[in-house]
Structures are given as C-alpha cells and as structure tokens.
Copies of this chain bind each other. A is one copy, B any other.
Amino acid sequence: MEGRQRPTIKTVAARAGVGRTTVSRVINGSELVSEQARAAVLAAIAELNYVPNSVARGLVTSRTNSVALVIPESESRLGSEPYFSAVIRGVSTALAETRTQLQLVLVRDQAERDQLTESVAERRVDGVLLVSVHEHDPLPGLLEDMGLPTVLAGRRSPAESLSHVHSDNAGGAATAVSHLLARGRRTVATISGPLDMDVARSRLQGWREALEKAGHEASERLVAAADFTEEGGEAAMRSLLEQVPGLDAVFVASDVMAAGALAELRRQERSVPDDVAVVGFDDSIIARHTNPPLTSVRQPVEEIGSMIAHILLKEIGNPEEPRQRVVLPTELVVRESS
C-alpha cells in the first residue's frame, strides 16, 4: 500500500465518468462545465486525493510558478546583516498569496554564479529578484537580455533601466546628518559603503548635501569607504581618527559598520556620544544592543521585499508592463549614541 501510484488526471476522469478535458476545466476554474459534471469531478478528486502534477503542467504552459531570489554576497554578510533576512520575509509574504515558490540562490563565488545563469537558462524560474547589486554586475544585463522578468532591490545606478525598489538613501542620510548638526556637532565625518554600489553613493551624497546645505564643507578628508562589514567599519573609523582627530560626529552607512566604529572609538577612549556622536543606517537588531544603543536610519526593508515580489509577479503576468521605480521613505530613530 505504501508506494501507490499517484492518481493522474486520467484516473480522476475515469472515476468521475467524464473526459480529461472536463477535469482540467474544473481544476482551472473554467466556467464551461455543468454543475453536475463539476460536482462529480470534485468528488472524484476528493476521493482519490488527487493533486495536479505541477511539473507536467509546467511543461505545457512553460511556467514554473517559482521565482528566484538572488543574494550575491560573500559569506559573511547574510549572517550579519538582518537586511537580507528581512527582504526574504517580505518576499515570502508577497509570494505566499499567489502560490509562487521561492528559490533562494546564494551567490558567493564564480562557480555559484555560473550555476545561477545556467539554472536561469534552463527556465526553472519565471522571474528573478536581485538584491544588493553592484554597479558593474553583469547579471542584471544578462537577465534583461534573456527577456526574463527581473526586479531589483536597489539599483545599479540612478539610470537603472530595470524595475527596482529602494529606500530614500540620500534623504535618510541627510536627515541623519542634519540631526547631528542640530545637536551642535561641528565636524561630521562619514563611513561609506563600497563606492561601486549605488546605495553607498546615495548615502554619501545625502551626507554631502546636508553638510553643504548647512554651510559646511564636505571635505574628502571626512570620508572613509568600507565594505559594510564590522571589521571594515573599525578600520575606517581608525583611519578617520588619524586624518581628522578633531571630528565630533560620524555618520556610518550601516549599523554593522557602526558597531565596528563604536568598538574602535571605545578602544581609543573616545566617549560616545560625549566626544563623538554616531549615527548608523538600517535600524537593525544590532542597533538596540550596541554600547551605547545606536541612533539609526530605519528603512522599511520588509516592505522593499514584498514590493519587489509584487512588481515581479506583475511583470511575469504581463511582460509589457511598464518598468517601475519605487522609492520608500526612511525614518530616523534616535537613541543614545547621538
């Protein structure tokens, strides 16, 4: 009794005393079927415990009802960045409504990247969600050329041609810097992300604009770029303190880097916020637990996730759908570090 064959549409048809097509119509909710036939089919389905074979269906419809979420990051980041988890949650929520499967693809090295493009070429997914894109990443263009619906969380550049969703990075950064200035800080440095990422450039731009608007000079000496890791933040803070010993505030483009910066400040016995005020970005879990708790720019990450999923589903449904660019607002959460 164990290995019983799964019933097929043919079994159901025989049981219900109708043709295969009628069963198919009932399953797919067609109107052109009599009440009587529908009832018979439904009963047969229930009795036989029939479930349509989605692979066979996919073969004929050439749809897989699954999308890939691609996270192209070095190993260290998925672990430390709650950002990715939140995106995953949002995507999963949006997808759950439409019975679309989520394929998670972590791309860490060239081998995994090749595998991804091959998997995409095999048409195992109907569309692709891309997170954390770098400026010269070949993947988005590749997907675009293949005609596969693609939506980005973030963008390669302000001229991004694919649909994308991101938060108001420049605005959030500017708010953070204005907040620091409003508290009387004079010399606001910044630790930026990798400058081949638009998200890093935008936050840097926000810092610059806020300073200039307030009549300060946004000197290059006040900028240190890092790589969104804790160690990177630490090293950047060290370098800033060397370059500009008199700084009294720093806007850090991510909480994880800010945690590193705080560690370095502590090591150099600079008190936070008395000597140096610090503001992070993301308002991730870490922000609440640093010493002192970190003021941070909150971005609606989960919403970004659900929104890219929604847009992708729409583009899968209709490839002619116009591309969308969505910007979501940020919010400053003030804690004790500033």
Contact = CB atoms under 8 A, between A and B. Distances in A.
A197 interface: no
Interface stretch (A23-31, A117-125, A271-279): A117-125
Interface string A85-126: 110110010001001011111100001100100110111100
Nearest to A284: B79
A82 B290 CA distance: 16
11 contacts: A6-B123, A54-B123, A55-B59, A78-B89, A79-B82, A79-B89, A80-B82, A88-B104, A289-B289, A289-B291, A291-B291
A54 B55 CA distance: 10
Q: What DSSP secondary structure best describes chain A's contact surface?
A: helix
A104 B92 contact: yes
A123 B75 contact: no
A306 to B, nearest CB: 12
A53 interface: yes
A66 interface: yes
A147 B2 contact: yes
Contacts of A96: 106, 111-112, 115
Interface of A: 2-3, 6, 51-56, 58-59, 62, 64, 66, 69, 75, 78-80, 82, 84-86, 88-89, 92, 96, 99, 101-106, 111-112, 115, 118-119, 121-124, 147, 259, 285-286, 289-291
A243 to B, nearest CB: 26
A53 B122 contact: yes
Contact of A89 (B53, B99, B106): B106
Contacts of A121: 51
A285 B79 contact: yes
A308 B286 CA distance: 29
A78 B54 CA distance: 29
Contacts of A123: 6, 53-55
Contact of A101 (B79, B85, B119): B119
A63 B96 CA distance: 24
A321 to B, nearest CB: 17
Nearest to A83: B79
Contacts of A64: 55
A82 B78 CA distance: 9
A291 B78 CA distance: 24
Contacts of A119: 99, 101
A104 B85 CA distance: 12
A259 B75 CA distance: 25
